[in-house]
Structure 1
Amino acid sequence: MKALVLAGGSGTRLRPITHTSAKQLVPVANKPVLFYGLEAIAAAGITEVGIVVGATAAEIRRAVGDGDRFGLRITYIEQAAPLGLAHAVLVARDFLGDDDFVMYLGDNFIIGGITALVDGFRADRPDARILLTRVADPSAFGVAELDDKGRVLSLEEKPAEPRSDLALVGVYLFTSVIHEAVRSVVPSARGELEITDALQRLIDTGHDVRSTLITGYWKDTGNVTDLLEVNRTVLETFEPRIDGTVDAASELIGRVVVEPGAVVTGCRIVGPAVIGAGSTLTGCYVGPYTSIAENCRINDSEIEYSIVLGGARIDGVRRVEASLIGREAVVTPAPTVPAAHRLILGDHSKVQIHA
């Protein structure tokens, strides 16, 4: 079995972070989201991995390399434009050959990995297997309709009137029959070749499409809210560890990780939290569920439930919460301004000012 990892999306929901960085490389708990997926694939015993890349190909290549660090052999597959999941299967045809494969969206996160799912697919070998989870707003996802025995009856991408609350999770397993199905689909109203249409083609032609309902934890990390939630979940699995320098005036409570080269002086840190390698914290409060990446500088500030990316600086700020702060960003207090109102008013205006 091979794996096809999709890492070509533009990440519009995470802008401005993704104006300068691939969304799959935004870190949670100081590790890129993409790496969690690659580790899950390796743990499932899969070694041949194709990564579909687009405009951020160079950055993905630099981060992942040849895959040796994960125990994988990586092949990079260029996709000229993000034209849908079915299109990604089309452009990966030569790499996939006639092998079974798991397709994994590079910005998805599943606690517990995919080993049991892959093992079950190898044993049963249906033509396709999809993962489903119940969501509050199914109209934002691909949606599945099942019969009373759990078999897949129909699939629809982002329906205006969903037939169920069962959304497709970003992991799919296929045999080679999917290749004929993806060749048969036409662009949707979004202008994309939808994998849901290809799966529906398999159902319509009598193929065996099965589903697994996820009751554990899954997130699409495509927006800041979900990214912070995944960060919280991963940090809760950490064990306390101090590899950097923490002075006697500092107080560390709970599961706090201080990575090598980090220096903590006169701070109070309440875990779970991680302080990245080479970062310097002075006179700070760092609250639970905070990840501070490498080489950051935080002075006389308070931060909680946030992700701070590499090289960022926060100086003299009260208080930062539920935030995603980009690489090399600088956060400082606003300058004091005179208590005055400056107005440019048109004719016949009416203005009420609370002095």
Structure 2
Amino acid sequence: MKAMVLAAGAGTRLRPLTYQTPKPMLPVVNRPVLHHVLDNLLRHGVKDVMVNLYAHADQVRGYCGDGSRWSLRVRYSHEPKLLGTAGAIKKTGDFFSDGPFLVMSGDGLSDIDLSEMLRFHKKHKSFATMAVKAVDCRFDYGVTLTDNSGRIKGFLEKPSWGDIFSNKVNTGIYLLEPELLRLIPKNQIYDFGHQLWPKLLKLRKPIFAYETKAYWCDVGNLSEYRKCQVDSLDGKVRINIPGAQIRQGVWVEKGASISPKAVLRAPCLIGKGCRIEAGAKIGPYTVIGDRSRIASQAELKNCILFDNVTVGGNVELSNCILGANGSVKENIAVYEAAVLNMRQ
């Protein structure tokens, strides 16, 4: 089976982080979200992947390469102008002509059982299958209405509390038959949610919702980004946390130098080549990116540090996100801040 990974989004709701880092490349436990997506595709037997690109395309290509680090074959489709989620697939249609294929969001963290989804798709002789997830709050997502068999009967875009029909949201994970490509116009901006799915419904195509109980988080804004980091450290999602677990909930990657007088509070992750000085306190719920330096008496709680970050002595950070190469100098306290390349 083949897969399309949508990685061209601009990530406007994650600014300022996405000014320099494309959304699929934002690190979750020191690996880009896209890395975890490719891990899950490999886990379920996918071998060939197409990735569409737009913002910071060189970063995605540079990291994923030809896919050999995952034993995948990865190809790319660059979009000088965004074509929309469905338009992106139309552009690469020949790649998917030989059987049902997956569509995944490059910025969605999930351990969904794609093999089970394929079995569901085949059993129901579905033309297009959407993975849906029951959520507590329906305000931020459109919901999907189904009958008892799972066949999709309608959609509600970001309903109010008065719309009590369903709490099953579209995860952006799809399994599609290649004949569907004929229904997408060429060289046009065309979207799954607003155009293609309603079109399939109007044409009375057999479209089904596969309800997953697996973990799913749309890394679409800063609060969701923080949440998926915490959930990963808590083991709520099946992903590979790098490094050796030196004790319960504390992971340390190769080449990290940690003073015996530093305090590591679980859960936390220390990246490759980091230096943690005496008296520094790391955690809980803190991830330190590769080659970062945390000076003496600094304290970090609920923080995400990208690679090559320097935190000076006696700095106190709480609920902060520091972008790559950021620097926070000595004797300062920062709370509830998303900061990119901070220099003070």
Normalised-by-shorter TM-score class: 0.7 to 0.9
Change (3 A) 1:242 1:205: closer
Tell me the residue number matched to 1:284: 280
Tell me the residue number matched to 2:340: none
Out of 306, 317, 332, the residue aligned to residue 320 of structure 1 is 317
Structure 2 SS opposite 1:202 = helix
Matches within 5 A, 1:204-283: 204-237=202-235, 254-265=248-259, 266-282=261-277, 283=279
Q: Is the 8 A contact 1:304 1:322 kept in 2?
A: yes
Give the letter for the 2:325 counterpart: E
Tell me the residue number matched to 2:54: 54
Tell me the residue number matched to 2:341: none
Structure 2 SS opposite 1:219 = strand
Segments of 5+ residues of structure 2 without an aligned counterpart are 333-344
Q: Is the 8 A contact 2:29 2:241 kept in 1?
A: no
Q: Does 1:301 align with 2:298?
A: yes
Give the letter for the 2:168 counterpart: L
Supply the distance in 2 between the matched residues of 1:44 and 1:194 (Cα, whole angstroms).
24
Give the letter for the 1:227 counterpart: Y
Give the letter for the 1:264 counterpart: I
Structure 1 SS opposite 2:74 = strand
Q: Does 1:8 align with 2:3?
A: no
Structure 1 SS opposite 2:184 = helix
Tell me the residue number matched to 2:200: 202
Matches within 5 A, 1:104-123: 104-122=104-122
Supply the distance in 2 between the matched residues of 1:85 and 1:291 (Cα, whole angstroms).
32
Structure 2 SS opposite 1:150 = coil
Change (3 A) 1:241 1:132: closer
Supply the distance in 2 between the matched residues of 1:296 and 1:27 (Cα, whole angstroms).
14
Supply the distance in 2 between the matched residues of 1:168 and 1:36 (Cα, whole angstroms).
20
Q: Does 1:181 align with 2:183?
A: yes
* TM-score for the superposition, normalised by structure 1: 0.83
Supply the distance in 2 between the matched residues of 1:64 and 1:50 (Cα, whole angstroms).
11
Q: Give the root-mean-square deviation of aligned CA atoms.
A: 2.7
Change (3 A) 1:53 1:156: farther
Q: Is the 8 A contact 1:240 1:256 kept in 2?
A: no
Supply the distance in 1 between the matched residues of 2:195 and 2:216 (Cα, whole angstroms).
23
Report the number of matched residues: 324
What percent of counterpart residues are identical?
27
Supply the distance in 2 between the matched residues of 1:6 and 1:285 (Cα, whole angstroms).
38
Structure 1 SS opposite 2:150 = coil
Question: What are the Cα deviations for residues 102-150 of structure 1, in whole angstroms up to 9, with x where unaligned?
Answer: 0000000113542322343355541111111233553432321223543
* TM-score for the superposition, normalised by structure 2: 0.85
Question: Between Structure 1 and Structure 2, whose CA radius of gyration is higher?
Answer: 1
Change (3 A) 1:53 1:45: same
Tell me the residue number matched to 2:131: 131
User: Alpha-carbon deviation of 1:27?
Assistant: 0.8
Supply the distance in 1 between the matched residues of 2:187 and 2:200 (Cα, whole angstroms).
11
Tell me the residue number matched to 1:311: 308
Question: What are the Cα deviations for residues 279-321 of structure 1, in whole angstroms up to 9, with x where unaligned?
Answer: 1111211112211111001112111222110000111345322
User: Alpha-carbon deviation of 1:42?
Assistant: 1.1
Q: Is the 8 A contact 2:113 2:214 kept in 1?
A: no
Supply the distance in 2 between the matched residues of 1:235 and 1:55 (Cα, whole angstroms).
29
Change (3 A) 1:81 1:159: farther
Tell me the residue number matched to 1:142: 142
Structure 2 SS opposite 1:46 = coil
Q: Is the 8 A contact 1:142 1:196 kept in 2?
A: no
Per mean C-alpha deviation after superposition, the further-off stretch among 103-112 and 135-144 is 135-144
Question: What are the Cα deviations for residues 60-109 of structure 1, in whole angstroms up to 9, with x where unaligned?
Answer: 10000000111111110112233421111221212222431100000001
Segments of 5+ residues of structure 1 without an aligned counterpart are 244-251, 336-355
Change (3 A) 1:180 1:318: same
Structure 2 SS opposite 1:140 = coil
Structure 2 SS opposite 1:310 = coil
Supply the distance in 1 between the matched residues of 2:244 and 2:136 (Cα, whole angstroms).
40
Structure 2 SS opposite 1:257 = strand
